[in-house]
Amino acid sequence: MYRKLVFLFVLALFAVPTFVSVAQEPQGLPVDVPREEMFVVDQIFRYGVAGNYNIWQTAGTTPHRHAMMDETLWYVDQETGERIYGAAISDPMYNDDFTQMTVELRDNLEWSDGVPFTAADVVYTVETLKATPELGQSGWHAQFNQFVDSVEATDDYTVVFNLLESNPRFHNIFETRWNGMYIMPKHVVENVEGDLGTWTNPDPVVLGAYLPTQYDPNGFWELYERRDNWETSVAGTVIGNPGPQYVLTIFYGDSSRKAIAMSRGELDVYFDADIEAFETTLDTTPTARSWYADFPWAYPNEVSTRQLAFNYETQPLFQDIKVRWALALALNIVELQTEYIGGVAKVTPLPVPATPSLTAIYLDPMQEWFENLEIDLGDGTMYKPYDSTVPDQIAAWAEEQGYTVPGEPAEVFGPGWWKFDPETAEILLTNAGFSRDGGGNWLTPDGEPFTIDLQSPPDENDAFRMANAAADMWSDFGIDVNLSGLERAVWEQNYFVGQVDVYTPWMNFALASGDSWPEVRGDHPKYYVPNGEDVRPAGGNAFFQGQRLQDPQIGEYIDAMAAVAPDDPANFETATEFFKYWTENMYAITAISFKKFVTWDERYWTGFPTAENPDLMPLYWFQGGKFAIQSLTPVS
Amino acid sequence: MTLLRQYILPRIVQWFVVIFVGISVTFLIPRLSPVNPVDQAMGRLTSFQTMDPEATLQMRETLLDLYGLDGSIIDQYLNFWGRLIQGDLGPSFQSFPTPVTEIIGAGIWWTIGLLGTAILISWVLGVVLGSLAGYFPQMWWSKFLERVVITVYPVPYYILAFVLLMLLTYYWPVFPLVGGSRGDPSFTWEFISSVLYFGFLPALSLVIGGTAFRFIMAKALASTEITSDYVQYAELAAVPKRKILFFYIIRNTMLPQVTDLALSLGTIFEGALITEVVFGYPGVGYTLYNAINSGDYNIIMGITLLSIVGIATASLLVDLIYPLLDPRVRLR
């Protein structure tokens, strides 16, 4: 009897999974849609709000949704740096003193319900957002109240904004990096009964090419279907290709789960993974690839960069420029980029990424300046710290590994960086009053051990690897470095209130268009907050202000840029001077540009942007990612 | 009447006190944390884009007002109890203005279904198999089961879960990687079978771990019980072994087992974070984790409230059920 029981139990253990797997198709996607008609994308996080498509709410969830559903006036592609006309058909037009902006709109767009899109929709959106504090998405409510006196439609396809003050960059609100003001369907929203702040937009009418049709109440996935009149959407008009009938966004979680999903044919593109999971993907999914078909694979041109940032008040010794330069010269960027990052990101000496457009605007024109830059070692000796051979050294490493470098080293690995020169770093520290103890470890001018509390969040993969490299290299140089890998919220809280010596933010001093002011206005010293107080309530850029840096010269550069139009040559000249000033002072050590293993499987879909076809950015979770999705064609 | 006054009433009063103190402490702790929901929201809203600093300040004021966090902590505490009595847990801050009840409601049934089922199955399996193994220690299957359990039990849960995930979603890809079901909820075989299909793997991981623990406990209790006089007397009297096992041994080892079951069921409302993360399964564990990271006081309060009430109620029920299970408690 008991033997029978045990036998039955063991049998059940094996039989049940077999039974249930036979009862179901061996396919784990949560929707019943023909696979060959559906493009499955990695949802970058699990949504907190499911089924609420009022994207204008303060907590409205934007990634993917805004690319699928929403439109704005202009897009700036991060790969090319070029402006793509969205709902507008020409550039913004300002009057002489930048107190009025006129916009011409496309006359061939329709909402998903077939109603024509007109200037009345834009006017209604601006006025509604201005009047409704509960619709706090992206700060548009606050910014319209700050800048807009009135907005009017002078005809069906022309909108005029009258501004409260001169503002040559007012159009930034309607132009994407991440997003631009989402235009409302006036004929729908004006008929909503009750409070717009709690309205959930249950039956969205969209100007984008896709309509949401199903969602997971727990926020794991959303399914979109292409609207019937997709030709009258912006992406349909610009690309002229229908794109997939369905798009499923789905949250799988960590890198290993994404790699498994792609190997099962249940994920067509993921937004990023660590290099180990990416290599697993290449091994297990023969049809998968990233930006480059071969080494260095990853997409290198997302517009941002990674820093080792000093807190000038937690560790006042950082206020000595010699200490900052010593720390920079004690880093071996070639080893950092290859052994720690895998050779797959571009190096950059500026907080400006080495994308093709920004390289052309800033990094290339500054090459001569970099090479001639001299720093004072503290004893009157001048020293040239720049090393333009860094990309060649990385290329040599790559070839040693058996990789082929797909282009000129400087194009693939960035322009150059600071020399690895511990001897000069030693001179700098010595001239700053430091000394070594009997064990070779550095002592501060007060005779105390020179310690650095370095903090970084492990979930920010490249930042944490960069921090590990810095910890190892500075330790080898004789500095007592304590590296802490902290949960994101704890790490953020520590730099917000100044409980860290060095942290690893990501900062960017220029938009893809080259305009610097929108990215650095929050770095103005007027937003300075002393250590011990939270930097956020002051309103500045928290990543930057976490440094507790007070330099009025920086404020002067920012004010000078604010006064001129973004495409005025004087704007670029001032930005360049600002970058030189920043670099000479080594206010933070910028190491690498952003890179993403945006990886897709060509099993079902083809036509995604690649290094061979770099007309669009592959960053599909940005609002401008819609154009890459619209470009897809089925393999069959 | 004496039973009510001396046994039941004090326990009910204690239940109220535990819940009141628990909720008050839970109200206070997140507010003492440096993680502030307004600043977290500002971080989320501005992390992807550049925003005018003046507009950022104005937005912060708006959020303070919308979230109802502009009064003193005493005002907030009184408002909280006023809302709670009416069954209103307020809005989620990170998903503003979605009500907390709606967010918890989306995950709680998955948590209850998964954990409730897994705990019950592992409890029954553990108690029955453990008692069998304790009663027949020399049988081959008893030794085999014990060796399997001793091998499995020390393996950390997250390792066990990850191994199952790799085995049954990658090497033998028969189970899904994410989600709780397919299609819209309905009373159809298609939907119910998809719930079983999507829930099987996470449930299996929980059942394996839970059964191993309860097997060891039940075997140890049964091993002690078989040496007692009444079991030996029953065997000499040729009472059927099945009867000895279920009515002499298992019943006498039942008190700690029932306590374990009740408390385990009471903790269901905390969710199973590791299970949810590893298997991509819906539930309130991940919701609570996100709420703690983002300082979403109302979500933290809502889930903790459920947990406090669940555990306190389970303890109360155990106390009240004891006299029914064990006559010796009744006598005292």
Helices B9-32 and B73-85 pack at an angle, to 10 degrees, of 140
pLDDT of residue A229: 96
Chain B within 8 Å of A227 (Cβ-Cβ)? no
Task: Please compute the mean of the pLDDT values over residues A37-46 and round it to a whole number.
Answer: 94
pLDDT of residue A26: 42
C-alpha to C-alpha distance for A595 and A463, rounded to whole angstroms: 11
Nearest CB to B280 within list A18, A220, A539: A220
| Residue located via tokens 């009297």 | B237
pLDDT of residue A569: 95
Is the CB of B58 less than 8 angstroms away from the CB of A142?
A: yes
C-alpha to C-alpha distance for A76 and A624, rounded to whole angstroms: 8
Is the CB of B178 less than 8 angstroms away from the CB of A221?
A: yes
Is the CB of A487 less than 8 angstroms away from the CB of B94?
A: no
| Residue located via tokens 């509604």 | A128
Residue A199, pLDDT above cutoff 70: yes
Is the CB of A136 less than 8 angstroms away from the CB of B59?
A: yes
C-alpha to C-alpha distance for B299 and B93, rounded to whole angstroms: 8
The pLDDT confidence band at residue B330, using thresholds 50, 70 and 90, is low
Tens of pLDDT, residue by residue over A54-81, are 999 987 788 999 999 999 999 999 999 8
Is the CB of A534 less than 8 angstroms away from the CB of B39?
A: yes
Residues B290/A219, Cβ–Cβ less than 8 Å: no
Is the CB of A58 less than 8 angstroms away from the CB of B62?
A: yes
Interstrand relation of A442-443 and A480-485 (parallel, antiparallel or unpaired): unpaired
In this structure, how many other beta carbons lie within 10 angstroms of the beta carbon of residue B149?
21
Domain interval for residue A500? 305-593
In this structure, how many other beta carbons lie within 10 angstroms of the beta carbon of residue A613?
10
Q: Which residues have CB under 8 Å from A253's CB, separation 6+?
A: B178, B277, B280
Among A189, A218, A243, the domain-final residue is A189
Query: What single letter denotes the amino acid at residue B179?
Result: G
Do residues A387 and A479 share a domain?
yes
Sign of the torsion angle spanned by Cα atoms A452, A453, A455, A461: positive
C-alpha to C-alpha distance for A72 and A93, rounded to whole angstroms: 16
CATH number at residue A138: 3.90.76.10
Residue A30 lies in a domain: no
A16 or A125: whose pLDDT is higher? A125
- Of the candidates A415, A504, A449, A513, which has an alpha carbon nearest to the alpha carbon of residue A82? A513
**B67-74 own/partner pairs: CB under 8 Å, 24+ apart:** B67/B37, B67/B38, B67/B91, B67/B93, B67/B96, B69/B37, B69/B38, B73/B31
Residue A241 lies in a domain: yes
C-alpha to C-alpha distance for A132 and A199, rounded to whole angstroms: 12
Do residues A589 and A454 share a domain?
yes
In this structure, how many other beta carbons lie within 10 angstroms of the beta carbon of residue A606?
14
Residues of A with Cβ-Cβ distance to B103 under 8 angstroms: 48
Is the CB of B169 less than 8 angstroms away from the CB of A216?
A: no
Number of cross-chain residue pairs from A and B with Cβ atoms under 8 Å apart: 211
Reported residue count of chain A is 636
Residue A45 lies in a domain: no
Q: Which residues have CB under 8 Å from B33's CB, separation 6+?
A: B295
C-alpha to C-alpha distance for A92 and A558, rounded to whole angstroms: 23
Q: Which residues have CB under 8 Å from A389's CB, separation 6+?
A: A416
Do residues A409 and A340 share a domain?
yes
- What share of chain A has pLDDT > 90, as a percent? 85
C-alpha to C-alpha distance for A452 and B220, rounded to whole angstroms: 53
Do residues A183 and A310 share a domain?
no
Residues of B with Cβ-Cβ distance to A146 under 8 angstroms: 52, 54-55, 58
Is the CB of B62 less than 8 angstroms away from the CB of A145?
A: no
C-alpha to C-alpha distance for A592 and A334, rounded to whole angstroms: 11
Is the CB of A2 less than 8 angstroms away from the CB of B136?
A: yes
C-alpha to C-alpha distance for A58 and A141, rounded to whole angstroms: 10
Tens of pLDDT, residue by residue over A204-217, are 999 999 999 999 98
Residue A26 lies in a domain: no
Residue A198 lies in a domain: no
3-state secondary structure of A244: coil
C-alpha to C-alpha distance for A635 and B59, rounded to whole angstroms: 47
Residue A19 lies in a domain: no
Helices B53-67 and B37-46 pack at an angle, to 10 degrees, of 140
Do residues A262 and A407 share a domain?
no
Is the CB of B197 less than 8 angstroms away from the CB of A20?
A: yes
Whether residue A168 has a cis bond before it, omega within 30° of 0: no
Residue A29 lies in a domain: no
Nearest CB to A493 within list B34, B55, B200: B34
C-alpha to C-alpha distance for B183 and B173, rounded to whole angstroms: 21
The pLDDT confidence band at residue A357, using thresholds 50, 70 and 90, is very high
Among A157, A189, A221, the domain-final residue is A189
In this structure, how many other beta carbons lie within 10 angstroms of the beta carbon of residue B331?
7
Residue A3, pLDDT above cutoff 60: no
Chain B within 8 Å of A251 (Cβ-Cβ)? yes
Chain B within 8 Å of A489 (Cβ-Cβ)? yes
Q: Can you list the domains of chain B with their CATH numbers? A: 109-285 (1.10.3720.10)
Residues of B with Cβ-Cβ distance to A28 under 8 angstroms: 169, 173, 175-179
A482 or B74: whose pLDDT is higher? A482
Chain B within 8 Å of A210 (Cβ-Cβ)? no
Residue B138, pLDDT above cutoff 50: yes
**Phi and psi, residue A387, nearest 5°:** -130, 105
Residue A19, pLDDT above cutoff 70: no
> Which DSSP letter does residue A51 get?
S
Q: What does the block give as tokens for A535? A: 């930097």
Tens of pLDDT, residue by residue over A81-124, are 899 999 999 999 999 999 999 999 999 999 999 999 999 999 99
A 24-63 → B contacts, CB under 8 A: 24, 26-32, 46, 48-50, 52, 57-59, 62
> Which DSSP letter does residue A358 get?
H
Q: Which residues have CB under 8 Å from B314's CB, separation 6+?
A: B262, B263, B265, B266
**Nearest-CA distance from B164 to chain A in Å?**
12
C-alpha to C-alpha distance for A525 and A551, rounded to whole angstroms: 6
Q: Which helix (H) or strand (E) holds B145?
A: helix B140-152
Do residues A263 and A361 share a domain?
no
Interstrand relation of A599-601 and A288-289 (parallel, antiparallel or unpaired): antiparallel
The pLDDT confidence band at residue B264, using thresholds 50, 70 and 90, is confident
Task: Please compute the mean of the pLDDT values over residues B10-35 and round it to a whole number.
Answer: 85
C-alpha to C-alpha distance for A226 and A69, rounded to whole angstroms: 10
Is the CB of B178 less than 8 angstroms away from the CB of A250?
A: yes
Do residues A281 and A321 share a domain?
no
Cβ density class A9-22: b for 16+ within 10 Å, e for less: eeeeeeeebeebbe
Residues of A with Cβ-Cβ distance to B66 under 8 angstroms: 58, 133-134, 136
Tens of pLDDT, residue by residue over A468-514, are 999 999 999 999 999 999 988 889 989 999 999 999 999 999 999 99
CATH number at residue A499: 3.10.105.10
Do residues A518 and A458 share a domain?
yes
Roughly how many angstroms between the first and final C-alpha of chain B, as a whole number?
16
| Residue located via tokens 């199952």 | B164
Do residues A386 and A274 share a domain?
no
C-alpha to C-alpha distance for A226 and A246, rounded to whole angstroms: 6
Nearest CB to B173 within list A24, A26, A522: A26
> Which DSSP letter does residue A483 get?
E
Do residues A572 and A604 share a domain?
no
Chain B within 8 Å of A240 (Cβ-Cβ)? no
Give the residue from chain B lying closest to A257, CA to CA. Answer: B177
Nearest CB to B174 within list A26, A58, A518: A26
Do residues A263 and A143 share a domain?
no
Average per-residue pLDDT for chain A: 93
pLDDT of residue B291: 85
* Interface ipTM: 0.81
Reported residue count of chain B is 332
Interstrand relation of A480-485 and A305-310 (parallel, antiparallel or unpaired): unpaired
Is the CB of B62 less than 8 angstroms away from the CB of A139?
A: no
A 141-180 → B contacts, CB under 8 A: 141-143, 145-146, 172, 177-179
Nearest CB to B42 within list A197, A524, A536: A536
Task: Please compute the mean of the pLDDT values over residues B90-117 and round it to a whole number.
Answer: 87
CATH number at residue A270: 3.40.190.10
| Residue located via tokens 């564990």 | B285
Among A1-10, A227-236, A251-260, B145-154, top mean pLDDT goes to A227-236
Residues A522/A544, Cβ–Cβ less than 8 Å: yes
Q: Which helix (H) or strand (E) holds A43?
A: none
Interstrand relation of A506-507 and A305-310 (parallel, antiparallel or unpaired): antiparallel
Lowest-confidence pick of A533-537, B22-26, B29-33, B153-157: B29-33
C-alpha to C-alpha distance for B51 and B276, rounded to whole angstroms: 35
pLDDT of residue B290: 83
Residues of A with Cβ-Cβ distance to B298 under 8 angstroms: none
Is the CB of B56 less than 8 angstroms away from the CB of A21?
A: no
Query: SS3 for A506-518, per residue?
Result: EECCCCCCCCCHH
Residues A259/A284, Cβ–Cβ less than 8 Å: yes
Is the CB of A521 less than 8 angstroms away from the CB of B50?
A: yes
**Nearest-CA distance from A243 to chain B in Å?**
24
**Nearest-CA distance from B179 to chain A in Å?**
7
Residue A572, pLDDT above cutoff 50: yes
Do residues A175 and A239 share a domain?
no
Q: What does the block give as tokens for A156? A: 């069906």
Is the CB of A142 less than 8 angstroms away from the CB of B139?
A: no
Is the CB of A143 less than 8 angstroms away from the CB of B66?
A: no
Mutate to test the interface with B, among A9, A27, A163, A218 (most CBs of B within 10 A): A218
Tens of pLDDT, residue by residue over A255-274, are 999 999 999 999 999 999 98
C-alpha to C-alpha distance for B263 and B265, rounded to whole angstroms: 5
pLDDT of residue A16: 54
C-alpha to C-alpha distance for A561 and A506, rounded to whole angstroms: 22
pLDDT of residue B329: 67
C-alpha to C-alpha distance for A503 and A318, rounded to whole angstroms: 13
Residues A418/A435, Cβ–Cβ less than 8 Å: no
Residues of A with Cβ-Cβ distance to B145 under 8 angstroms: 6
Is the CB of B97 less than 8 angstroms away from the CB of A214?
A: no
**Nearest-CA distance from A84 to chain B in Å?**
18
Residue A455 lies in a domain: yes
Give the residue from chain B lying closest to A488, CA to CA. Answer: B293
Burial of A355 (0-12, 13-18, 19+ CB in 10 A): buried
Q: What is A586-601 written as a DSSP string?
A: T-EEEEEE--B--EEE
Residues of A with Cβ-Cβ distance to B45 under 8 angstroms: 58, 136-139
Residue B259, pLDDT above cutoff 90: no
Roughly how many angstroms between the first and final C-alpha of chain A, as a whole number?
58
Q: What is A430-473 written as a DSSP string?
A: HHTT-EE-TTS-EE-TTSSB-EEEEEE-TTSHHHHHHHHHHHHH
Nearest CB to A58 within list B40, B96, B165: B96
Cβ density class A542-569: b for 16+ within 10 Å, e for less: bbbbbbbbebeebbebbebbbebebeee
For chain A, how many structural domains are there in total? 3
Chain B within 8 Å of A515 (Cβ-Cβ)? no
Give the residue from chain A lying closest to B299, CA to CA. Answer: A48
C-alpha to C-alpha distance for A133 and B55, rounded to whole angstroms: 12
Query: What single letter denotes the amino acid at residue A611?
Result: A
Is the CB of B50 less than 8 angstroms away from the CB of A518?
A: yes
Lowest-confidence pick of A253-267, A287-301, A374-388, B213-227: B213-227
- Of the candidates A627, A620, A463, A636, which has an alpha carbon nearest to the alpha carbon of residue A74? A627
C-alpha to C-alpha distance for A243 and A630, rounded to whole angstroms: 4
